[in-house]
Amino acid sequence: MLDKNNKKFRWVDEMKSRVLWPPVRTSAIKVALSASYCRQIVSSYYETLIDTAWRDLCETEGPQFSTPLFRLHDCSLPGSCSDFQCRAGLTCSCSEDSVLVEACNEVELRLGLSNTRESSVTRQLSVLSSDLAYIGYELHKKPQMFLANSIDVHAAFVTKDGYVPLVRSLTNNRNGSIEKQASLDRTRSTSSLNSKSGSVSSKTSLRAPVILPKWSLPSGGPEPSTCNILTYKDLVSRNTQGVQKEVVESVFRSLHDMLGIKTPSSEPAALLALHFDKKHNNKPELLFILKSGLTSIELADIFRKSKAKNLYELAFIRSQDLKTPLNENEKMPFCQVVERKISQAHVEAQSVGDIFKSFIKLTQKHSSVDLTKAKF
């Protein structure tokens, strides 16, 4: 166990995760759908504030399109915090909460709908999102009731020789700033989701490349339109199988888009952790693990021959290096493949994305988590 009194490891305490060990295979991930799992409307006053914040974002960052997103209302994993302060950027009783869930046989995800507009506003730590969290707690004892809670997925793709690939957008694709928060809203369309009814006006969806300004695991997100979830009326039991399939396929899609590999979604994959991003109002992130039959050199060869190389750069970290204690001021031991040989490199910790840092933290805090020995 790491010394929590040592400032060097203070960042370990900033985690909030449910870590599954052994990981739960995707076939044991169940989905429940309901219109009641959509983001709820508290009042026209707060919806106007969300609209205003969205317009300000569009003026600052250029035209944005609001597209439908899946929303995690709740899940079957134990230990969900109902303290509104968890959703308001404040300290609550579970602020140092990363729980190891052992021998879990099944995970149920309870999904509704939200959209890009709501997610981009309510995932920020602000007076508006704090008010929404507090009202949800006061009225329903559910601080997430009026927050978007949109989900993203991340893939830890462990190679045959024990390396984990990481990607970062090429400089000209980072919108000029590596400090900008990555956007994982993977659809761009003129269709929009009605915030009150949960409906989308068009099925058309054009996926845009995910911008990752910092070194990150391959990432993406499930898209409601690809499994015919167009309105809240489609959130019925007969569509659960299609949605479950889309959650899994979004993981493999991220591997194809960012690494260039064509691993079929029938290959084994498992849910390793449900992480709550505290810097973005406890936005839920699903972290999956996959074990590849490729070596890091073979994977690098595939990447160089794919379209992914036009958008991203590739690096690796050895799985054993994930256990090496680091602080925010140290460089991290990365590797790159040059002329089919692995060369050691180091990068500044500040150039690594928050979700990947959280991934490192959970492997260090829970000593039993060894990626090379994962069985699922």
- Angle, alpha carbons 262-263-265 (nearest 5°): 120
DSSP codes joined into one string, 99-129: EEEES---EEEEEEEEEHHHHHHHTS-SHHH
**Which residues pair with residue 211 across a beta bridge?**
183
What is the predicted pLDDT for the residue at 263?
Answer: 81
Phi and psi angles of residue 352, each rounded to the nearest 5 degrees, phi first = -105, 135
Question: Is 257 inside any structural domain?
Answer: yes
What is the predicted pLDDT for the residue at 79?
Answer: 64
Question: Is 176 inside any structural domain?
Answer: yes
The range of the structural domain enclosing residue 330 comes to 7-371
Question: Is 199 inside any structural domain?
Answer: yes
For 26, the token pair is: 């995707």
Calpha distance 355→200 (Å, rounded): 30
Question: Is 1 inside any structural domain?
Answer: no
Question: Is 92 inside any structural domain?
Answer: yes
What is the predicted pLDDT for the residue at 83?
Answer: 65
Residue of 113, 376, 94 whose CA lies nearest to 236: 113
3-state SS assignment for residue 272 = strand
Quote helix, strand, coil % in the chain, to nearest 5: 35, 30, 40
Residue of 307, 312, 329, 120 whose CA lies nearest to 216: 312
Tens-place pLDDT, residues 34-92: 999 999 999 999 999 999 999 998 998 888 888 999 999 999 987 666 666 666 555 56
What domain count does the chain have? 1
What is the predicted pLDDT for the residue at 125?
Answer: 85
**Cβ–Cβ < 8 Å for 58, 183:** no
Rg (CA), the chain: 20
Helix (H) or strand (E) holding 74: strand 68-75
Question: Is 2 inside any structural domain?
Answer: no
What is the predicted pLDDT for the residue at 280?
Answer: 83
Residues 6+ apart with CB under 8 A from 256: 262, 263
Helix (H) or strand (E) holding 357: helix 354-365
Question: Is 376 inside any structural domain?
Answer: no
CATH number at residue 146: 3.90.79.10
Question: Is 366 inside any structural domain?
Answer: yes
Q: pLDDT below 50 — which residues of the chain? A: 1-13, 175-206
Instruction: Report CA-CA distances (Å) from 305 to 99, 220, 251, 270, 314.
Output: 41, 22, 21, 28, 13
What is the predicted pLDDT for the residue at 256?
Answer: 96
Q: Give the CA dihedral 106, 227, 184, 353, nearest 10 degrees.
A: 30
What is the predicted pLDDT for the residue at 331?
Answer: 85
3-state SS assignment for residue 286 = strand
DSSP codes joined into one string, 3-66: -TTSGGGGGGGG-EEEEEEEEEEGGGEEEEE-GGGSPPP--HHHHHHHHHHHHHHHHHH-----
Calpha distance 189→179 (Å, rounded): 26
- Angle, alpha carbons 294-295-301 (nearest 5°): 85
